[in-house]
Structure 1
Amino acid sequence: MAGATSLAAAANLAGKSSVRVVVIGDPGTGKSSLIVALATEQFPENVPRVMPPTRLPADYFPDRVPITIIDTSSSPEQKPKLIAECQAADAVVLTYACDRPATLERLSSFWLPELRRLQLKAPVIVVGCKLDLRDEQQVSLEQVMAPIMQSFREIETCIECSALRQIQVPEVFYYAQKAVLHPTAPLFDQELQALKPRCVRALKRIFIICDNDKDGALSDVELNEFQVRCFNAPLQPTEISGVKRVVQEKMPEGVNESGLTLTGFLFLHALFIEKGRLETTWTVLRKFGYDNDIKLRDDLIAMPIKRAPDQTLEMTSEVVDFLRGIFNMFDIDNDGALLPTELEDLFSTAPENPWISDPYKDCAEKNVLGGLSLEGFLSKWALMTLLDPTNSYANLAYVGYPGEFSSAFTVTRRRRVDRKKQHTQRNIFQCYVFGARGSGKTSLLQSFIGRQPSDTLPSNSERFATNSVEMADVSVMLYFFCTGDVMLMLYADILLFLFLTT
């Protein structure tokens, strides 16, 4: 489903202008010979103890990203340099000698635990060098490496090679580069053999975006549009039929009379990954703006609006209308409230539910079943926009808002202008609650969101409450921030200073 040109472009979207690969392993396992054989396509007669950095040009591999290869010494006196190189690596090639079983044992007894101790995030490629010297009676690579890979999930790939016979030498560094540009870990749980939740959420969002008629399936036309958008090349009718046939044979519910279902779409990507074609799924994710953490890239959600310290952002009427529609769409039982399961479904296309932790978790009014009313729903969005507009916009995009940042939010007038005019146009007001321990701060906030004071024990931590109220025929949202004795005077001094100077 993907062409070389589109995959190279996707690699650039990974944010890497070059890849740094560090080669480590026991003495005499073939590290330097491997590097020389790659660079010269010949087996070296005389090899220096440590090779200088070797650079492969951008056109060496299809992803068109240059590679710098760093050789290392495993001598004790060079350990600080070895550690520094590993910490700077994008990928680590860990070697053992196929004719020396002791070097294989050292992978799990020393090298892999040492890399864990260093808390490296880089993927590891385990390479058996000197394949030409391996005893033919030895067990297969799969049998040898299976228990090691089970214990050390950071191993991305295992491969054997021979510098002497030029067997699979380029493949070693191709897999190292691929592990950096198209990593497995964010997408796939090797232990469960399943797509990771965040990957599923992102692919679900992409599926919904591409399902233009919202019938729950990608028709042949929609599937072709998706293919062109991601890979710059259309699918032939026979290819589309072939894709659907593969899915239907393995997972009948993956295809219906309307086309490829979400289940089938997810199955297809799991199949790509299982077959080692991670670049296909990464191309799709990056075309829709995702980074290596499977979140929308920072440049897509960055706040372009400048504001003074006494200005805030509020949602536009366009966004409020959008959120009302989303609320009604996910209020499956039409009871005027989103139950926790309905709210979780609403955020199922976001990396995670942004309201499962403070300050949003318990800041709005709920009914006896834990359902969130429309007013509470909008109040939480208003609070998130006030406290963290970038996160608010990102989550709007995750749940389907199609507009730009500038159409989502408006900047309030400066507070000093409001005071001068004795009038404000703001719809969101921040109220800070201070008081001594036991003076009723928490009870006040609880009452504001419709809870009995006894519902919550007294708290020494910061608390938030948000709700909408009617004032002189105008609906506004109030956001209360409460703090206890420890920070009382500090907060009061800061707020007084800001009020007097803005």
Structure 2
Amino acid sequence: MPSRSAAGVRTGVRVVVAGDRGTGKSSLIVAAASDSFPEYVSAVLPPTRLPSDFYPDGVPITIVDTSSSMESRVKLIDELKRADAVVLTYACDQPMTLSRLTTFWLPELHKLEVKAPVIVVGCKLDLRDERQPMNLEQVMAPIMQKFREIETCIECSSATLIQVPDVFYYAQKAVLHPTAPLFDHEKQCLKPRCIRALKRIFMLCDHDMDGALSDAELNEFQVKCFNAPLQPAEIVVVKSVVQERIRGGVNDLGLTLEGFLFLHALFIEKGRVETAWAVLRKFGYDDDLKLRDDILPVPTKHAPDQSVELTNEALDFLRGIFQLYDSDNDGSLQPSELDDIFVTAPESPWTVGPYVDAAERTYQGNLTLNGFLSEWAMMTSLDPACSLANLICIGYGGDPTSALRVTRRRSADRKKQRTERNVFHCFVFGPKRSGKSALMNSFLGRPFSSNYTPTNAVHYATNMVEQIGGTQKTLILQEIPEDGVKKFLFNKECLAACDVSVFLYDSSDEYSWKRSRELLLEVARQGEECGYGVPCLLIAAKDDLDPYPMALQNSARVTQQLGMEAPFHVSVKLRDSKNVFSKIISAAEHPHMSIPETEKGKKRRQYRRLVNSSLIFVSLGAAVAVVGLAAYRAYAARKNT
């Protein structure tokens, strides 16, 4: 049974009970399920199900019993890795079993990389020697300090049914309302991603945007999250608690953001983590504190050669956001200003690959408007759900369905001989040292460097390109390392996302030219076989160096044979690469042109034409025969009459 529905809601919780032999695992399970102490239980029980109405959260629990014998180790490991929560048992009348938790069981969970929360349970409480009392909190505090995965410690008795139902309630609660994503127990504070989510919620509830929740706004928040209003006296109590504990948590206008965050931290500290989760989930957050997929109406691509772009409405919103956060009006965003934009998102999305360092910045490292919009265009193209989620998190107030649009299939664009796309994805192929990275850096306005650094990972560069007539299009360059081409082309749909490809070679180097030609032919064959043929350009880089004598003649011949434009010569060092990007955009805007065709592809096309001609001839012949037969029958009928 899947543990989550399509909307990300839990449909079940799987709890695995483990521990030393004789610690009372099976008796605990039977007592919880039947509310009675069993006189006899088998060594290992079959999976036991507690129905959805067993606990208030309304989610059924499947309890899995395990054996600690060596013969059952493989099955035990499998069950632990599948667990949503783990109940580790020890026997209150056997102190050695408690020691075994820290010497074997908890380290074993670490070794197996089990990420599930752990509930430590002392069974057989009724059998503990009264002459040796134990303070559970004092004993478990250092253990919980060392093993952070422990959510709760509890002792119970299956014989007397003391706290037996609580064991699996806490296990379910640890799964449905986990503490770890929200609170750092070591630092005793909310975690950064939780703070960001609560900041967004606070801003959504602060309708008059005065920086505080008035009594009316606080009451509206309460009704939305818990379906019950706060009484005036209750609001007074809430504010009093905040005022006593945190300076600036309440002002003349109401509950401040600091007070709002403090209240949620207080709920968690008091063991009411489900209250914080009720708020977060009401505002659309999942267990990772990201917006749930079911509230992100991401448009569906029906074919691999379609893409997703931002609509004009979303772009206008982003331009407004840029101007709002460009506090010094210098036309660029400082890192701190960019961080402020994403302060209500799970994190700033462009601090890691493939977005980090992929857009145009000023010499001071600030992000320009073109760079800002290009990063959004790239994120929308590569990960539409992430783009839409971040749009919503930073305050996009329009209908989410109006933020993104799906483009027409590229195969349809070829037939119509035009495209309506505003964002073009370009693959950059070429051998090592051909100048791929230098070209991409020049695209972002970065100075030329003669230092060579091989590209081993995915490398992107994105910017806006102004075309003739003043229109702007966004170009995304993706460098394909030479060593990764074979693996890249192994995917039969690898070219589906490509609007145009360029092939660089060092015009002064014989090997570079020959290898670039090989790559071009490999891609051309892949396009012909898979039906994703794309416009291609051949670029002779390093034009400032003495050319390889045969390269000019051979490259002109190859491009002519393949039906492509002649090679385009550039020198990044001499800063004459600017026009090449307009040329790349122009090739992408004419999706029916510059598609290389190999000899095999030409023969295949000629064969198809021949077959089609034959079919047309046969069809015409059949039509003539039908008409002739009809005429003969009409003549015969008149003759008989």
Normalised TM-score (structure 2): 0.72
Residue 93 of structure 2 corresponds to residue 99 of structure 1: yes
Question: Bigger shift: 429-438 or 222-231?
Answer: 429-438
1:349 CA drift (Å): 1.5
- 1:377-388 to 2 correspondence within 5 Å? 377-388=372-383
Please give the alpha-carbon distance, in whole angstroms, between the structure 2 residues aligned to 1:59 and 1:139: 35
Question: What is the match of residue 19 of structure 2?
Answer: 25
d(CA) in 1 for partners of 2:411, 2:39: 79
1:336 alignment partner in structure 2: 331
Secondary structure of the residue that 1:34 maps to in structure 2?
helix
Bigger shift: 105-114 or 215-224? 215-224
Contact 1:305/1:406 (<8 A) preserved: no
Name the CA distance, whole Å, in 1 between partners of 2:164 and 2:463: 64
Equivalent residues in 2 for 1:79-118 (5 A)?
A: 79-118=73-112
Deviations 1:256-289 (A, max 9, x none): 2221111111111111111111111111111111
1:478 is the counterpart of 2:475: yes
Q: Structure 1 pair 366/495, CA: closer, same or farther in 2 (3 Å)?
A: farther
Change beyond 3 A, Cα 1:430–1:51: closer
Q: What is the alpha-carbon distance in structure 2 between the residues aligned to residue 293 and residue 208 of structure 1? A: 20
Verify: 1:348 aligned to 2:382, yes or no.
Answer: no
Distance change (3 Å), C-alpha of 1:458 and 1:49: closer
Larger Rg over CA atoms = 2
**For 1:127-169, what per-residue CA distance to the aligned partner results, in whole angstroms no more than 9, with x for missing partners?**
1112223244433001111111111111110011122232211
Question: By how many angstroms is 1:126 displaced?
Answer: 0.4
2:285 is equivalent to residue 290 of structure 1: yes
The letter for the 1-side match of 2:390 is N
Q: Aligned pair 1:160/2:194, yes or no?
A: no
Tell me, in whole angstroms, the C-alpha distance in 2 between the residues paired with 1:355 and 1:415: 28
Q: Secondary structure at the match of 1:58?
A: coil
Q: Note if contact 1:434-1:484 (Cα within 8 Å) is conserved in structure 2.
A: yes
**1:13–1:286: 8 Å Cα contact kept in structure 2?**
no
1:125 to 119, 126, 146: 119
Q: CA deviation at 1:421?
A: 4.7
2:169 counterpart of 1:174: yes
Q: Report the equivalent of 1:134.
A: 128
Aligned-pair distance for 1:456? 7.1
Kept after mapping to 1: 8 A contact 2:7/2:292: no
Secondary structure of 2:349's counterpart equals coil
| Cα offsets for 1:169-226 (capped at 9, x unmatched) | 1111111111111111111122222211111111111111111122221111111111
Correspondent of 1:498 among 525, 532, 535: 532
**Aligned Cα RMSD in Å?**
2.5
Q: Which residue of 1 aligns with 2:66?
A: 72
Same amino acid, percent of matched pairs? 63
Residue of structure 2 equivalent to 1:55 = 49
Offset at 1:302?
Answer: 5.2
- Say which SS state the counterpart of residue 59 (structure 1) adopts: coil
Partner SS for 2:532: helix
Contact kept? 2:299, 2:404, Cα under 8 Å: no
Quote the residue 1:306 is aligned against.
301
Alignment coverage as a number of residue pairs: 493
Report if aligned partners of 1:431, 1:481 keep a CA contact under 8 Å in 2: yes
- Confirm or deny that 1:35 pairs with 2:37: no
The equivalent of 1:468 in structure 2 is 464
Partners of 2:430 and 2:60 in 1: CA distance? 61
Q: Alpha-carbon deviation of 1:246?
A: 0.9
Structure of higher RCO (CA pairs closer than 8 Å, 6+ residues apart): 1
Name the residue aligned to 2:492: none
Q: Distance in 2 between matches of 1:90 and 1:199?
A: 22
**Residue 319 of structure 1 is aligned with which of 277, 299, 314?**
314
Whole-Å Cα distance in 2 between the matches of residues 82 and 437 of structure 1?
50
Structure 1 stretch 260-269 or stretch 307-316: which is displaced more? 307-316
Is residue 307–residue 411 contact of structure 1 (8 Å, CA) maintained in 2? no
Contact 2:298 2:404 in 1 (8 A): no
* Kept after mapping to 1: 8 A contact 2:392/2:400: no
- Whether the 8 Å CA contact 1:314–1:412 is kept in 2: the answer is yes
Structure 1 gap segments, 5+ residues each: 1-9
* Structure 1 residue 11, shift from structure 2 partner: 12
- The CA deviation at 1:483 is 2.9
Change (3 A) 1:45 1:444: closer
CA, structure 1 residues 481+36, in 2 after alignment: closer, same or farther (shift >3 Å)?
closer
SS at 2:53's partner residue? helix
CA contact (8 A) 1:465 1:481 kept: yes
Equivalence map 1:185-196=2 (5 Å): 185-196=180-191
1:255 to 241, 247, 250: 250
**Aligned 8 A contact 2:433 2:452 in 1:** no
One-letter identity of the residue aligned with 1:479? I
Q: Is the 8 A contact 1:433 1:483 kept in 2?
A: yes
**Farther off after superposition, 249-258 or 309-318:** 309-318
Write the letter of the residue equivalent to 1:139.
M
Deviation track 1:397-444 (CA, whole Å, cap 9, x = no partner) reads 121113344311223344445445554433223333333433332222
The answer as to whether partners of 2:432 and 2:454 remain within 8 angstroms in 1 is no
Deviating more after overlay: 484-493 vs 17-26? 484-493
Q: 2: distance between equivalents of 1:256 and 1:495? A: 65
1:162/1:432 CA distance change after superposition, 3 Å:
closer
| Structure 2 residue aligned with 1:6 | none
Gaps of 5+ in 2: 486-515, 535-590, 593-641
Are residues 103 and 215 of structure 1, via their aligned partners in 2, closer, same or farther at CA, if it must alter by over 3 Å?
same
Q: Which deviates the most, 288-297 or 404-413?
A: 404-413
TM-score with structure 1 setting the length: 0.91
Pair 493,337 (structure 1): closer, same or farther in 2 beyond 3 Å: farther
Q: Distance in 1 between matches of 2:363 and 2:6?
A: 51
Aligned-partner residue type, residue 187 of structure 1: L
Q: Deviation at 1:365?
A: 1.3
> Conserved in 2, the CA contact under 8 Å of 1:14 and 1:286?
no
